[in-house]
């Protein structure tokens, strides 16, 4: 069986668990920072500069966001709460890109108040935004392009022509004409057509698509673009046999496309941005639980104190997350389902998975929970949200979100004996 390594051992985790009851999510700060720096290095060639707007939805914790801000990352937001998180961390102005859909006017006003780059999802939102802002549009405006059948999506995000996001090609040209007529002076262009994609050529093809479109829009409308947002979607190697995307290779191939299209047509310099979240933090987060029970019926089951409410991706998408049993690496192997305690049969972290045989009381670590893990948690069955821990190496760590209590869960109920 191919395995995945852990940055900490059982004794280190037990020392934390002695103070932070399981289950909890733990994040490797040093690895996240190093990964962010490697990303920037791969695009250091960009004449107009490169910036990654961290997708706040992936891991909306201000302590993590603060660390990433120190590495030069901005914030990609799609809601009021995410905008407020950025504001609290000190991410403001054009270090925020606000890309949302079915957006209420008050969220557009908040984005404008912070000076964020507003990236519209719908041609009708040009006038909607104008009205929300009292009859004016921002000086800088970006539109989200949905290429429809011209570009294949992938299994997670689906076919672009069936997605609810973005402008069609025809709407894009019309929208920029409208924006010009309404006094917009600075322009950006964005697309997002894949999620958790491991094929490096996919991102090069996406960049080429936008580069070609920029040339056409410039020729037809005279627009000079100052920012191209290639979206996110860079995947991570959830399975031990997966290969991580080679960022240097992607950066170099996009550089070649940029020079052959943008530079060759006398355009630029253009700032290139992305909005990766999963790739930045995903591999460096771990859900730590403890074995409560072993059950033997028609199958073998290992039951944890963690459940789908702590990490819903396996139950919701059938996603693979690797399972380690620290300290039991040399134990005999067991084929089992690794389960939680929700009253739902899809509350399983792994199905028919071969793992080192754990004992009741052992810690179990579920890998790659650093994106869309805690942030997608929920309270079904009145389950409580877990703590989050930022690990800084060795015995250095801190709680960055305490575990939810029953008082927290019932706080919005005005009912005797429950509220407060």
Q: Which one, of 297, 372, 304, lies nearest residue 340 by Cα?
A: 304
Dihedral class, residue 152 (left if φ above 0, else alpha if ψ from -120 to 50, else beta): beta
pLDDT along the chain (420 residues), means of 10: 87 98 98 98 97 98 98 98 98 97 96 98 97 97 88 54 79 98 97 92 96 97 96 96 97 98 96 98 98 98 98 94 97 98 96 98 98 96 97 96 96 84
Same domain assignment for residues 227 and 311: no
Same domain assignment for residues 54 and 157: yes
Q: Is residue 183 one of the residues assigned to a domain?
A: yes
pLDDT of residue 76: 98
Of the three residues 251, 276, 301, the one that is the final residue of a domain is: 276
Same domain assignment for residues 66 and 152: yes
Same domain assignment for residues 132 and 150: yes
pLDDT of residue 153: 53
390 within 8 A of 397, measured Cβ to Cβ: yes
Which two tokens mark 265?
Answer: 């047509």
Q: Is residue 38 one of the residues assigned to a domain?
A: no
Give the CATH number for residue 14.
Answer: 2.40.37.10
One-letter-per-residue 3-state SS of the chain: CCCCCCCCCHHHHHHHHCCCCCCEEEEEHHHHHHHHHHHHHHCCCCCCCEEEEEEHHHCCCHHHHHHHHHCCCEEEECCHHHHHHHHHHCCCHHHEEEECCCCCHHHHHHHHHCCCEEEECCCCHHHHHHHHCCCCCCCEEEEEECCHHHCCCECCCECHHHCCCCECHHHHHHHHHHHHHCCCCEEEEEECCCCCECCHHHHHHHHHHHHHHHHHHHHHHCCCEEEEECCCCECCCCCCCCCCCCHHHHHHHHHHHHHHHCHHHCCCCCEEEECCCHHHHHHHEEEEEEEEEEEECCCEEEEECCCCCCCCHHHHHCCCCCEECCCCCCCCEEEEEEECCCCCCCCEEEEEEEEECCCCCCEEEECCCCCCCHHHCCCHHHCCCCEEEEECCCCCEEEEECCCCHHHHHCCCCCCCCCC
Same domain assignment for residues 262 and 115: yes
Prediction pTM value: 0.95
Which two tokens mark 255?
Answer: 């550089």
Helix axes 62-70, 80-89, angle to 10 degrees: 60
Q: Which one, of 171, 126, 178, lies nearest residue 148 by Cα?
A: 171
Q: How far apart are alpha carbons 302 and 86 in whole angstroms?
A: 40
Number of folded domains in the chain?
A: 2
Q: Is residue 5 one of the residues assigned to a domain?
A: no
The residue count for the chain: 420
Of the three residues 253, 276, 299, the one that is the final residue of a domain is: 276
Q: Is residue 420 one of the residues assigned to a domain?
A: no
Helix axes 29-42, 62-70, angle to 10 degrees: 40
Which two tokens mark 322?
Answer: 């690797």
Same domain assignment for residues 223 and 323: no
Give the CATH number for residue 186.
Answer: 3.20.20.10
Q: What is the domain extent for residue 354? A: 10-25+283-410
- The set of catalytic residues is 343
Q: Cα(first)–Cα(last) distance of the chain, in Å? A: 49
Same domain assignment for residues 77 and 135: yes
pLDDT of residue 268: 86
pLDDT of residue 3: 81
pLDDT of residue 1: 46
């Amino acid at each position: 069986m191919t395995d995945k390594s852990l940055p900490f051992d059982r004794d280190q985790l037990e020392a934390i668990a002695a103070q932070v009851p399981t289950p909890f999510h733990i994040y490797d700060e040093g690895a996240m920072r190093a990964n962010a720096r490697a990303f920037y290095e791969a695009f250091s060639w960009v004449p107009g500069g490169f910036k990654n707007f961290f997708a706040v939805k992936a891991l909306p914790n201000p302590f993590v966001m603060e660390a990433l801000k120190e590495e030069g990352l901005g914030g990609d937001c799609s809601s009021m709460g995410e905008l407020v998180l950025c504001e609290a961390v000190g991410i403001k102005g054009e270090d925020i890109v606000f890309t949302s859909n079915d957006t209420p006017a008050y969220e557009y006003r908040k984005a404008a108040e912070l000076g964020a780059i507003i990236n519209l999802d719908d041609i009708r939102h040009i006038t909607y935004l104008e009205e929300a802002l009292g009859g004016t549009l921002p000086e800088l405006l970006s539109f989200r392009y949905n290429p429809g059948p011209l570009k294949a999506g992938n299994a997670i995000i689906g076919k672009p022509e069936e997605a609810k996001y973005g402008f069609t090609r025809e709407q894009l040209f019309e929208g920029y004409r409208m924006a010009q007529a309404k006094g917009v002076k600075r322009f950006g262009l964005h697309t997002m057509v894949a999620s958790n994609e491991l094929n490096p050529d996919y991102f090069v093809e996406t960049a080429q698509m936008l580069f070609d479109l920029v040339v056409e829009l410039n020729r037809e409308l005279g627009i000079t673009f100052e920012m191209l947002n290639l979206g996110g979607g860079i995947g991570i190697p959830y399975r031990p046999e997966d290969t991580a995307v080679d960022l240097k290779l992607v950066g170099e191939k996009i550089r070649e496309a940029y020079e052959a299209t943008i530079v060759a047509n006398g355009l630029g310099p253009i700032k290139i941005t992305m909005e990766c979240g999963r790739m930045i933090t995903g591999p460096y987060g771990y859900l730590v639980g403890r074995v409560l029970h072993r059950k033997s019926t028609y199958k073998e089951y290992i039951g944890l104190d963690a459940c789908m409410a702590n990490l819903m991706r396996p139950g919701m998408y059938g996603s693979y997350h690797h399972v380690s049993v620290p300290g039991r690496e040399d134990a005999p192997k067991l084929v089992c389902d690794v389960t939680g305690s929700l009253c739902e049969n899809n509350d399983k972290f792994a199905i028919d998975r071969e793992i080192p045989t754990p004992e009741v009381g052992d810690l179990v670590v579920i890998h790659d929970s650093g994106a869309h893990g805690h942030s997608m948690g929920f309270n079904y069955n009145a389950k409580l949200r877990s703590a989050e821990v930022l690990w800084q190496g060795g015995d250095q760590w801190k709680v960055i979100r305490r575990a939810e209590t029953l008082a927290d869960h019932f706080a919005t109920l005005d009912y005797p004996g429950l509220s407060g």
